[in-house]
Amino acid sequence: MIITISGFPGSGKTTVGKMLAERLGYRFYSMGDLRGKMAMERGLTIDELNRLGESEAWTDEDADEYQRKLGKREDDFVMEGRLSFHFIPHSVKVFLAVDPGIGAERVFRNQRPDEERQESVEGVRKMLEERTESDRKRYRKYYGIDCFDRKHYDIVVDTTRLTKEQVVEKILSFIEKKV
């Protein structure tokens, strides 16, 4: 079984993905980490790479092709990525929602090295709004889809008021009923 996790920034995609993989004994892959590494190797932040991607498709193509190939050759893994559901259509597709303010607080507490450092939660919130809009713009342009449209997913979990353990339990419960 393959589980793909998409969602809004700060919703817990990576944290929940790692926990699911551990519980199931699966491998975990993160497209966010892969793209962040790509950005830093070029001396860019993830948001600069995203803006570049609005006019240059290569910024997404490598990660997208990696997902597609992995979904065809491997099984029993969890993948976190905005478009993972699209490139691995036979996966169990999970979307994690979160209140934008709560998401910004979470990201502020755990700022990544590939992000421009923000001095306030409000700064993070603005950065995440711009990132979300850039994602929408790129994915509509290159693939004709909105990765934030919940119709693409098998299960949607709002993580705003849940612990990471509760989110994992909801997903596992859904999977058990589906199998």
> What share of the chain has pLDDT > 70, as a percent?
99
Identify the pLDDT of residue 85.
97
What digits encode the pLDDT tens for the residues 3-48?
A: 999 999 999 999 999 999 999 999 999 988 888 888 888 998 888 8
Q: Which residue has the tokens 């993905």?
A: 17
Domains in the chain with CATH codes: 2-172 (3.40.50.300)
Identify the pLDDT of residue 49.
85
Residue 178, pLDDT > 90, answer: no
Identify the pLDDT of residue 139.
92
Q: CA triplet 86, 89, 93: central angle to 5 degrees?
A: 80
Residue 179, pLDDT > 80, answer: no
Q: Are 88 and 71 in contact (CB under 8 A)?
A: yes
Using alpha carbons only, how large is the chain's radius of gyration in Å?
15
Identify the pLDDT of residue 61.
86
Specify which residues 77 forms β-bridges with.
2, 27
Measured in degrees and rounded to the nearest 5, phi and psi for residue 113 equal -70, -20
| Average pLDDT of span 41-66 | 86
- Beta strand residue intervals within the chain, DSSP E: 2-7, 27-30, 77-80, 92-97, 155-158
| Average pLDDT of span 148-166 | 97
| Average pLDDT of span 93-107 | 97
Identify the pLDDT of residue 59.
83
What digits encode the pLDDT tens for the residues 136-145?
A: 999 999 999 9
Q: Using CA atoms, how far apart are residues 108 and 117, in angstroms rounded to an integer? A: 9
| Average pLDDT of span 82-106 | 96
Residue 81, pLDDT > 90, answer: yes
Residue 84, pLDDT > 80, answer: yes
* Residue in 4, 150, 179, 7 with CA at minimum distance from that of residue 86: 4
